[in-house]
A and B are shown apart, each in its own frame.
Chain A
Amino acid sequence: MEVDKGKGEAEETRKVAEADRDTVTLKSSDGKLFEVSKEAAARLSTVLAGMIAGGSIDDNGTDLKQIGSEALENVVDYCNKHANSIPSAALISSSISFNTAPFKEPEEWERKFVDRLSHDALFDLVEAANFLGMERLLDVTCHKISEMMKGKSPDQIREVFNIKNDYTKEELEEIRQELAWAFYDD
């Protein structure tokens, strides 16, 4: 939801709304502007809630220097989708779960939302969610990362996340011998 307004238009918007505006404008590190529902931003992000309450929101676009435009677009998209989604009662998973842990399984739309992202886009979104204090989005994105590890061998995990193996052969062998049963598939 990119905002590309002329100077006059921006001036106009400020006159009409000022404090009553129901959206806030965010500016990515590369200068792109995005508009997001104020209510959703305040509800989903502790950092934005603090900025809104503290009056440090800039109508010309609040600078978020740490967040690139692609990640910010996803953040804004998530906030706007969340604002329209069915309220929290529906967050309770319908699948069999014996443990009602504080973490709630991602909803179908949240799954789809993160599934379409590339690795880089997902990682950028995790950082953005972390930076903005968006607990739910952080859980949803981290859940996606954990899904990418689930059921994989250490070699496969290293490959997916491009991690260097810093164990020596001897060290690995020692642990493997002790826990041989956990590595049937290797």
Chain B
Amino acid sequence: MSEDDETTRSATLVSPLENDDLVANSLRLLPALPSSLLHVSLVCKRWYRLVSSHHFLRQFRAHHRNPPLVGFFSMEWKRIIFTPMLDPPDRIPASRFSLQVLPCSTLLSCPHGRVLIYNQLHKQRLLVWEPVTGELCRVSMPPSFHPTMIVVHAAVVCASTEQGHIHGSCHSDPFQVVMVASDREQFYAFAYSSQAGAWGNNSLSVKLLPYMKEDDCGISRRSTLGNSICFFLAGEKAAAIVEFDWARQTLAFLDPPSEVSQQLNLLDFHDERCQCLVKSSDSGGLILIVVKLFTVHIWERTFNADGVAKWMLWKNTTDLNNLFSLRMVPEDLTAVPLSILGLDEGGNVLVKQKESRAIFLVDLESSKFKKLSGTCPVINDGHPFSTFYTPGKYHTCILQLEQKRIYLISRLLVYRMAFISEKMINKNFEFELFRSFRCRTDY
């Protein structure tokens, strides 16, 4: 470097790598994949502090908007199994997210980075699990929930009120459990708030229509949308979308397009020759996706000037056989080749090719898709799990968790306060607490 160059360089500002804002501006553009921030956090302590700061993580999430799909959760007899879908180094090992639960538990859903588990046999309760932090929270069933009722759809959703909040790393945020249950006479809607620590008092119910009481009434994959949980109910030449909107406090049957319900064949619905899925549109309205073997029809629910709802059929009809270049001949098929698994956090539809177990993530509006690198678990109830995996947060959560636990214990054992506080400063005790908590399986 010549003397001239030296003068030029010294006259400029400090190196961008010395400027936290500029480093942060570059780091936020790294892919949302789990290894990205973990790797840069190990470069030096300054970068670790930077990428684990609340401010940076907000920027990072705001840039990416949707967390990456890291894998699927599914249920085995006494264990929740994680099937990673990313390649190394982003492949989170199955053992990292694994939880032993009581037999006969049901995995209900896992949006916003939390998993909701329901156990029907043992004391009828719900378990909210945060795989990233390992935190477990038990929620008893609503007081008005009768043991004869069945849970039709339930989800644990983030209840953050932070402006511009992006879901996917909501570990310390309050949550809500929203549920639709049925006693074969009516549907009931319930909402639990973690802040209130209680179920809401509003009782919402709607009477079942005759075909819904039939044993062969079909039900679609459940969807969790912005402010509502939905599913599609199918009878013979009749159908309804059941929507519980917890923000507006409404539980209602919405009529699907008459073309869809009139042509509905229950046998086709049961053997997946006809699959339906409800999702939300960009404007917050509803979209109904109907897949008949390979052909996708998309219906959007719009409102006219008088506020009357109307379904509009999108003009472009997607053929998944062509789109995914599957080259299958429908006449030769002995079984239905594709299964709609649900939605990812960005509203893309997850489609599984049954034979190869390959997963396609498809944006049906634009017909853009990508094939995921992993394969789906054999069983059909794979729940897609998306999360931002970021450094720092995990440790922070453990700390918060310990503080919460220590606080609870100290309240419960007031008379032994002095003893407890002495123990609290003992690190071994903290470790024991942590270990016992993580290992608890007998919820």
Tell me the A residues contacting B by CB distance below 8 Å: 29-30, 65-71, 96, 98-103, 120, 123-124, 126-128, 130-131, 138-139, 142-143, 145-146, 149-150, 152-154, 157-158, 161, 163-167, 172, 175-176, 179, 181-185
Residues of A within 8 A of B36 (CB): 150
- Are the CB atoms of B29 and A68 closer together than 8 Å? no
Inter-subunit contact B368/A96 (CB<8 Å): yes
Q: Is the CB of A142 within 8 A of B29?
A: yes
B8 at the interface (CB under 8 A from A): yes
15 further A-B pairs in the complex, CB-CB below 8 A; given A145-B26, A185-B89: A68-B11, A69-B8, A71-B12, A98-B346, A101-B63, A124-B9, A127-B14, A127-B22, A142-B26, A157-B40, A163-B44, A167-B45, A175-B42, A181-B92, A184-B88
Do the beta carbons of B22 and A142 come within 8 Å of each other? yes
CB nearest to A69 among chain B residues: B8
Contact bitstring B1-40, A, C-beta under 8 A = 1, else 0? 0001001110111111101011001110111001110111
Residues of B within 8 A of A143 (CB): 26, 29
Q: Which residues of B contact A182 (CB under 8 A)?
A: 34-35, 38-39, 89-90
Asked if residues A165 and B11 are in contact (CB atoms below 8 Å), the reply is no
Say yes or no for B64: interface residue by CB 8 A criterion: yes
The answer to whether A68 touches B9 (Cβ under 8 A) is yes
Annotate B342-368 by CB proximity to A: 1 below 8 A, 0 otherwise: 000010100000000000010100001
Q: Does B174 contact A (CB under 8 A)?
A: no
Q: Do the beta carbons of A142 and B44 come within 8 Å of each other? A: no
Given contacts A66-B11, A67-B12, A185-B88, contact A126 B30 (CB under 8 A): no
Please name the residue on chain B nearest to A138 by beta carbon: B25
Instruction: Determine if B370 is an interface residue (Cβ-Cβ < 8 Å).
Output: yes
CB atoms of B12 and A127 under 8 A apart: yes
Q: How far is the CB of A103 from chain B (nearest CB, A)?
A: 6
Query: Which residues in A have their C-beta under 8 angstroms from that of B19?
Result: 127, 130
Give Cα A149–Cα B43 distance, bound, in whole angstroms. Answer: 11
Chain A nearest Cβ from B302, distance in angstroms: 22
**Contacting residues, chain A, for B361 (C-beta < 8 A):** 98
List 22 A–B pairs whose Cβ atoms lie within 8 Å, in order of A's numbering: A29-B8, A30-B8, A98-B348, A98-B361, A99-B66, A100-B65, A101-B64, A123-B16, A126-B16, A127-B12, A130-B16, A139-B29, A157-B39, A161-B43, A163-B44, A164-B44, A167-B45, A175-B42, A176-B42, A181-B96, A182-B34, A184-B91
A156–B363 Cα distance when bound, in Å, is: 36
Residues of chain A within 8 A of B63, CB atoms compared: 101-103
* Residues of A contacting B25 in the complex (Cβ-Cβ under 8 angstroms): 138-139, 142
Q: How far is the CB of B198 from chain A (nearest CB, A)?
A: 36
Chain A residues with Cβ below 8 Å from B96 are: 181
Alpha-carbon distance between A157 and B91 when the two chains are bound, in angstroms: 20
B26 with A153: CB separation less than 8 A: no
| Candidates B7, B17, B39, B346; contact of A99 at CB < 8 Å | B346
Q: A68-B12, A101-B65, A184-B88 are in contact. Are A96 and B370 (CB under 8 A)?
A: yes
- A103 and B29 in contact, given A30-B7, A167-B42 (Cβ under 8 angstroms): yes
Residues of A within 8 A of B147 (CB): none
Contact of A172 among B21, B42, B89, B346 (CB under 8 A): B42
Within the assembled complex, what's the spacing in Å between the Cα atoms of A181 and B90?
Answer: 8
| CB nearest neighbor in A for B30 | A146
Q: Quick one: closest A residue to B368, CB to CB?
A: A96
> Shortest Cβ distance from B268 into chain A, in angstroms?
30
Q: Is B93 among interface residues, defined by CB-CB distance under 8 A? A: yes
- Taking the closest CB of chain B, its distance from the CB of A136, in whole angstroms, is 12
In whole angstroms, what is the CA distance A172 to B42 when docked?
A: 7
Q: Roughly how many angstroms separate A138 CA and B36 CA in the complex, as a whole number?
A: 21
Complex contact B17–A161 (CB within 8 A):
yes
Partner among B13, B30, B45, B93 whose Cβ is within 8 Å of the Cβ of A150: B30
Looking across the interface, which residue of chain A has its beta carbon closest to that of B344?
A: A98
Minimum C-beta distance from A65 to chain B (A): 7
Closest to B29 in A: A146
Cα(A51)–Cα(B198), bound, Å: 58
Question: Assuming the A-B contacts A29-B12, A163-B17, are A181 and B91 also in contact, with contact meaning beta carbons closer than 8 angstroms in the complex?
Answer: yes
User: Which residues from A are CB-within-8-Å of B369?
Assistant: 96
**Residues from chain B with Cβ under 8 Å of A29 in the complex:** 8, 11-12
- Bound: A167/B4 CA distance, A: 36
| Neighbouring A residues of B363 by C-beta, 8 Å | 98
| CB pair B89 A130 closer than 8 Å | no
Q: Is A124 within 8 A of B35, CB to CB?
A: no
State how many angstroms separate the Cβ of B173 from the closest Cβ of chain A. 21
A68 / chain B contacts, CB cutoff of 8 Å: 8-9, 11-12
CA distance A120 to B29 in the complex (A): 20
Residue of B nearest to A123 (CB): B16
| Complex Cα gap A165–B91 (Å) | 26
Given the known inter-chain contacts A126-B22, A163-B44, please indicate yes or no for A179 contacting B38, CB distance below 8 A: yes
With A66-B12, A66-B13, A167-B45 already in contact, the answer to whether A154 and B40 are too (CB < 8 A) is yes
Residues of B close to A98: CB separation below 8 A = 66, 346, 348, 361, 363, 368
**Closest CB in chain A relative to B372 CB, distance in Å:** 12
Contact of B13 among A131, A138, A184 (CB under 8 A): A131
Find chain B residues with CB under 8 A from A103 CB: 29, 63
Q: Which residues of A contact B16 (CB under 8 A)?
A: 123, 126-127, 130, 145
Give the distance to chain A from B132, nearest Cβ to Cβ, in Å.
12
Asked whether A146 and B44 contact (CB < 8 A) given A157-B39, A163-B17, A185-B88, the answer is: no
**Least Cβ–Cβ distance between B217 and chain A, in angstroms:** 34
Complex alpha-carbon distance, A8 and B22, angstroms? 43
Query: What is the minimal beta-carbon distance from A122 to any residue of chain B, in angstroms?
Result: 9
